[in-house]
Amino acid sequence: MTSRDLALVLGTRPEIVKLAAVTRLLGPRARVVWTGQHWDPALTTAFFTGYGLPAPHHRLDGVGGEPRGRQIGRMIAELSRHFAEHPPAAAIVQGDTNTAAAGALAAHCAGVPVVHVEAGLRSFDRDMPEEANRRVIAPLADLHCAPTPTAAAHLLREGIDPRQILVTGNTVVEATLATLPDEPAARAVLARYGVTPENYLLATVHRPENTDDPDRLARLLAQLGGLDLPVLLPLHPRTRAAAVGAGLLAGGGRLRPIEPLDHAAFLALARHCRLLVSDSGGVQEECTVLKRPLVVVRNSTERPEAVRAGFARLARPGPELDAALRESLADPGAAARLAEVPSPYGDGQASRTIAAAVRARYPQRPPRPRGAAAGADGVAESEEPTESADRQGVPRKACQPPVGAWPTLRVRSLRSVD
């Protein structure tokens, strides 16, 4: 086992953002394994550099751009080989990406304990690929870092041992606060795009449910373009390809397609817009930190906490979206009201809580002294046996929420907003 014995399996830019602080806190024990699910080398390098992370210690090739099944299969094969050759003390995966599912499966097959950050989210929507990934990871994980009591309750209802669940908050809170530009820098971003505070909307669209159906995408873009305020739309590659292919970007009224934004520029624009419109999961979390209202353009959400707290409203393209946009824009007091509402995703200490739990649960083992004789079970006579007799040899320690940070969990039937 090498000194970098905690493998953080990353493959998308949101995973970099959400695990950057955890990676830094784990210090020399952190081993960054990059799958390349997001395959833009320049943008990915900028994200690693921007978040103060080293270049990946191990990279997979030929993964980006593959269809989902082949992509996950290739990642499992390559990660399994890496874990067999360089077994870590634990593998840390984040969220619900193909990378997270493949990392958990490969680690489990290699006998490596799995830590799942952002565990327990559920949309109860089988059409969402991410829902399948989340449900694949849950029975494989040894430590479930649930961002909210709702997420923890989902895991308890599914039969996960409560000793394996730690309510941590969501790392997006500290990532957002650390990345948000100061006021002069934010105003410079707004000036670059010719907008002023509270007088524009910021929209993002990238999910297959919105981009793969030309009629739905056309209806959505037309509704955004028909508003009275300018709408900035950073174009995801999938959205650009779908919109150009369907001839939907020729004339969009107040809709202003722009190039993809780096995270800091996006947060600056999001902080000062009148209204956010998005199908992104991360934006549903970020809006609770930025104190901005959001219309979620989706069929379902795995983040009902933002809806219940009053930050977000779910709407499908068509009459639902028309009503949500009209009513949200007609509420001038929304930003002031939301400024007083705490984020349901914690107080910005999630990364510290997670890093501390990982270090405590998977302590670094000292190297075996040269010449130490092995006993009948293959363990050197000078070494203490582990507490657990399970396959991983990892003690099963009880995990509790930070004292006073979260309400007592009650197992009850919880459904996402639909």
295 and 203 Cβ atoms separated by less than 8 Å: no
Q: Residue 165: what are its φ and ψ, rounded to 5°?
A: -110, 130
171 and 18 Cβ atoms separated by less than 8 Å: yes
β partners of residue 296: 278, 314
> Which 3 state secondary structure label does DSSP give 260?
coil
**Residue 280 tokens, joined:** 């992104």
Q: At what angle do helices 41-50 and 13-26 cross, to 10 degrees?
A: 40
313 and 307 Cβ atoms separated by less than 8 Å: yes
Identity of the residue numbered 113: P
β partners of residue 243: none
The owner of tokens 């191990």 is 58
Give the C-alpha separation, 315 to 293, whole Å: 13
Q: What is the 3-state secondary structure (H, E, C) of 91-114?
A: EEEECCCHHHHHHHHHHHHCCCCE
Identity of the residue numbered 172: V
Identity of the residue numbered 212: D
The owner of tokens 């959505």 is 220
Give the C-alpha separation, 162 to 159, whole Å: 9
Which of 57, 58, 206, 236 is flagged as catalytic?
206
* Residue 52 region by backbone torsions, left for phi larger than 0, else alpha for psi between -120 and 50, else beta: left
β partners of residue 167: 146
Active site residue 206: yes
Q: How many residues does the chain have?
A: 418
**Residue 187 tokens, joined:** 């105003």
Give the C-alpha separation, 401 to 369, whole Å: 38
Which of the residues are catalytic? 206
